[in-house]
Amino acid sequence: MITMQTTFVMVKPDGVQRGLVGKIIDRFEEKGLRLVGLKQLTPTHELAASHYAVHSERPFYPGLLKFITSGPVVAMAWSGVEAIKVARNIIGPTNGRDASPGTIRGDWAMDIGHNIIHGSDAEETAEFELGLWFPEGLVDWKRAAEDWVYEE
Ligand code: DAT
Ligand code: MG
């Protein structure tokens, strides 16, 4: 079944500081996902805490919040058929040392705490995260190349 989805993706402060934003956007864009939201911001503590609320009882949570609020991130929304799974595959597993070359974390991350990028893991989390980071809404547009990305 064809499921059109929109997923939330964020380049974390380490990805921004290492100058990887352009290369990261390329991966999603060249795959055939459609960019429907993009902005740079330094997350407030409140925003980061809401985003990672599911991890609030974990020992790494305080460090995670400190890291995510330490500087600018680049927040993005990407649309496509099964976009959540597709984006997670582009990103790779949480620990960069376990991630295959060719994935973002596999190519650029050496540490679970500095793993360059976030991607929503399910439809409910994508909806929650998109509402949290893009309360102003997303950009709807028709891509001229759509018929060359999807067969039908
Ligand atoms: P993912 O980002 O792959 O969805 P997650 O949702 O399990 O992974 O965890 C969210 C983030 O928290 C992850 O990107 C990095 C950090 N994190 C997870 N497990 C950690 C650990 N054991 N030590 C340090 N940071 C961790
Ligand atoms: Mg996660």
How do residues 12-23 score in pLDDT, each as one tens digit?
999 999 999 999
CA distances to 67, 68, 71, 88, 105 from 93, rounded to whole Å, are 19, 18, 23, 8, 7
How do residues 120-137 score in pLDDT, each as one tens digit?
999 999 999 999 999 999
Distance CA 77, CA 38 (A): 7
CA distances to 7, 50, 90 from 33, rounded to whole Å, are 10, 26, 11
Q: Using an 8 Å Cβ cutoff, are 74 and 21 in contact?
A: yes
Residues framing ligand 1 (Cβ under 6 A): 55, 60, 64, 94, 112-113, 115, 118, 121
Across the chain, which distance is largest between two alpha carbons, in Å?
47
pTM value?
Answer: 0.98
Q: How far is the CA of 37 from the centre of ligand 2 (A)?
A: 20
